[in-house]
Homo-oligomer: A and B are copies of this chain.
Amino acid sequence: MYKYVVPERVLNGGTTDVYFKRTQDILKAEGINPVVVMEVFPGRDGILCGIKEDIALLKKILPKDAEVWALDEGEPMSRKEVVLRIKAPYQSFGLYETAICGYLSSSSGWATAAHECVAVAGGIPVTSFGARHVHPNIAAEMDYAAVVGGCNGCATILGAQMAGCKPSGTIPHALVLVMGDTLKATKAFDKHMPKSVARVALVDTFTDEALEAVRVSEALGKHLAAIRIDTPKERGGVTMDLVRELRARLDQAGMEHVGIFVSGGFSTEKIKMFTDNKVPVVGYGVGSQISSAPPIEFTADIHEIDGKPVAKRGRIPGVTENPRLKRVI
């Protein structure tokens, strides 16, 4: 099971907004260190993710008698609902407000987008394929969040490890191009890959998908689990009609066992349209719908200082009730 190790750059305050560092310096100089209750809540509804990292960080930095309540990784949360409550001397954790919010913001954004895709996919598995659209420092974290949000699997090796599953993938255009032929590439894949890896042939690289799909299926026979189409926009993209025609042509060739796996521009709306129209696919590879999802903004507010309810203007003083919270530290 994956265990999060807080990196040095976070622990030493490198990634924090500098005014929290200055606040710490001032409070130390003044000798002020009250016990405060800080509450963290999201700016919109979604799936909570990143709380594991928050708790790992808090365990590392909080003193013994501190108390922390939180929702679980992967739980649904509502706008303005408190998902994390910390009660501890302010100096022990004030420096980390940036990181505490940041872990949740990015990861919950991805998990929520994944959840929305899965919700409309009608039970067809969705795989996270968007690592290429995010900085490698968070590619694995993004994939992990996608699985927390409901994806069946993800493409990066480290992301899969974090999420406790096997990495998923078919054949990239690069392999087909380098080998010069779709069938040759698929046969090489079949020859060298362990049996546990499903054979899924990419059939849109050189020529019409329908011809290639039948050619590759007939060559690999029962070895072939599925074909993948990722038709470029310049060739019309992946449409419902295309999938249906491929299904018909594969069936006419006696290749009912070969599934059709689709990727390329699958937004929530497009997946929903495929589901509503019962388009016969066996899996969706989803990229930027998840990986480019905007972060969910989290806000951290102080609501109590040394037992006294406080709040800045616009917020309600005192601890906010949320019976769903569980004590985690």
Contacts and interface: CB of A to CB of B under 8 A. Distances in A.
A107 to B, nearest CB: 7
A14 B140 contact: yes
A15 B90 contact: no
Contacts of A208: 206-208, 235, 313
A78 to B, nearest CB: 15
A65 interface: no
A60 B227 CA distance: 36
B234 A19 contact: no
Q: Output the residue of A137, A188, A316 with the most chain B CB within 10 A.
A: A137
B133 A102 contact: yes
Interface in A35-82: 36, 50
A206 B312 contact: yes
A42 B185 CA distance: 28
A161 B14 CA distance: 9
Nearest to A96: B136
A236 B244 CA distance: 15
A297 B305 contact: no
Determine the main DSSP class of A at the interface with B.
Answer: helix
A13 B172 contact: no
A136 B313 CA distance: 28
Nearest to A246: B316
B178 A27 contact: yes
Contacts of A27: 175, 178
A292 B180 CA distance: 40
In the complex this chain forms, how many copies of it are found? 6
Contact of A171 (B23, B292, B317): B23
A169 interface: yes
A274 interface: no
Given A27-B178, A302-B177, A302-B178, A133 B171 contact: no
A227 to B, nearest CB: 15
B172 A20 contact: yes
Interface string A130-153: 011111111111000000000000
A216 to B, nearest CB: 14
Interface in A248-292: 248-249, 252, 288, 291-292
Nearest to A20: B172
A174 B97 contact: yes
A317 B247 CA distance: 12
A13 B139 CA distance: 11
A22 interface: yes
B317 A155 contact: no
A120 B205 CA distance: 35
Contacts of A193: 22, 25-26
A173 interface: yes
A134 B157 contact: no
A310 interface: yes
6 contacts: A17-B169, A98-B139, A138-B138, A207-B208, A207-B313, A232-B314
Q: What 7 pairs across the A-B complex have the smallest Cβ distances?
A: A236-B236, A19-B169, A234-B314, A232-B314, A14-B158, A18-B167, A106-B135
